Amino acid sequence: MSKILVIGGGAAGMMAAAAAAEEGHSVVLYEKNEKLGKKLYITGKGRCNVTNACDFESFFENVVSNPKFLYSSYGRWNSWDLMDWLEARGLKLKTERGNRVFPASDKSSDVIRTFQKALERLGVVISLNTEVEGLWVEEDRCRGILIKETGKIPADAVIVATGGLSYPTTGSTGDGYRWAGKAGHTVTGLRPALVPMEAVFGDGTPVSELQGLALKNVAVRIQKGQKDLAGDFGEMMFTHFGVSGPVLLSASSVAARELEKGPLELFIDWKPALRDDQLDARILREFEAAKNKLLKNVAGNLLPVRAVPVVLRLSGVPPERPVHEVTKEERLRLVHTLKEFPMRLTGLRGYSEAVITQGGISVKEVHPATMESKKVKHLFFAGEVLDVDAYTGGFNLQIAWSTGHAAGKAAGKPEELGNSSKPEGRREE
């Protein structure tokens, strides 16, 4: 029996602690908050989208950073393993649109309670209100952890599952990145992702003019120079600072790195179901039905009324013009503006609004099957602290479950720690 210390009582840490205890090891789980799963509690708007029941290929298509690193851990402990594990412990689940899996009760607290009970039953010692100060590393081997009050606590293996930097009030303050850096690991560029973005309209005017306006069934495209970076279809909204909503949160994960270097172009297609010529025909019909009306009044039939002044301004067609006086050239400009409404993205919002942190401990320095460090023996990582992230839909939590499970299963088997010295080129399962 090995002694395993797990740092972080979030999704990855709880899964790792349970998996290690299932192997018969003595496990202590340290959490600096007064309770487990503080971030888990707010996931999925309090409903906790625990995983996604999609096929393997789709799962990896939804992982934005380093999907290949996850082949092994997800292959061994996938969405269905997690669902079976939770249901075997009494948590009923349901699958909604987009294969998103939630507890049937719609309560994230039920997920946390299920883990808590499982950990207690497995004899995991849960040490709440305990902030770990650092790792005890000597001669390239992790010997335990450091805690202010108690000093060094020895262990056979340590699993770092301290999360990222997003929503820091939940306890994710980046401690694991600092410790890993000190232990010789590379921490790749950290940035908020799945995060709202700051923006202005194409003419440089503030977006606050449309603050609170939500759009459904629009297509968005983010462009750098002539290159398309991201595109999506669905819901978005204008905020006092820029843009948010599902399609733009997803797009932010792809655009984040480029946005750090400078502004990007965002184009909104207000009428994705219509080609340019179809939209022109539709506008002509509207104009013919209301010949003597002013453009600003007719445009409300094509767009949310609040958006009319902005769209007309950006198209350069005078709003006070009676529609029968609108020239063909002006009409085509209006079509173009509706199909490619121009905006400029100027920055990302901060960690306090970001669903996840992009970047993290370089996966090149971690064994994908076991999550063990390639630099420091008996040290393991799991969850958001690693340089892996995905789109919304339950994928980020599944990354935490899969990597946590892999770390927990491997951490207590010193003979398997030989994994870390496998000859180069040998394929890890």
Judged by the rule CB under 6 A, the positions of this chain that interact with ligand FAD are: 7-13, 30-33, 38-40, 42-44, 48-49, 131-132, 161-163, 166-167, 170-172, 175, 355-356, 383-384, 394-397, 400
Question: From the centroid of its chain, how far is CA 339?
Answer: 29
CA distance 362 to 383: 13
Question: Closest distance between ligand FAD and the C-beta of residue 351, in Å?
Answer: 9
Count how many residues are written for the chain: 429
64-83 b/e (C-beta count within 10 Å ≥ 16 → b): bbbbebbebbbeebbbebbb
64 neighbors 229 (Cβ within 8 angstroms):
no
User: Least distance in Å: CB of 401 to ligand FAD?
Assistant: 9
Nearer to ligand FAD, 161 or 207 (CB): 161
Asked whether the CA dihedral 88, 122, 168, 257 is positive or negative, the reply is: negative
Dist. CA 305–CA 297, nearest whole Å: 9
- Backbone torsions φ then ψ of 73, nearest 5 degrees: -70, -40
Place of tokens 């194409």: 202
Q: Which is nearer to ligand FAD, 38 or 339 (CB)?
A: 38
Query: Smaller CB distance to ligand FAD: residue 223 or 239?
Result: 239
Considering the complex, state which of residue 44 and residue 242 has its C-beta at the smaller distance from ligand FAD. 44
Smallest separation, CB 428 to ligand FAD (Å): 22
Could you tell me the smallest distance in angstroms from the CB atom of residue 365 to ligand FAD?
A: 18
For residue 50, the minimal CB distance to ligand FAD (Å) is 7
Nearer to ligand FAD, 21 or 48 (CB): 48
Shortest distance in whole angstroms from residue 390 CB to ligand FAD = 8
Task: For residues 77 and 82, give the distance between their C-alpha atoms in angstroms, rounded to a whole number.
Answer: 7
When the beta carbons of 207 and 388 are compared against ligand FAD, the nearer one is 388
Smallest distance from ligand FAD to CB 322, Å: 49
Distance in angstroms (rounded) separating the CA atoms of residues 244 and 196: 5
- Enumerate residues 6+ apart whose C-beta is below 8 A from 236: 214, 215, 218, 220, 243, 244, 245, 246, 247, 248, 268
Task: Return the number of the residue (202 or 383) whose C-beta is nearest ligand FAD.
Answer: 383
CA distances from 375 to 142, 154, 371 (A): 10, 19, 12
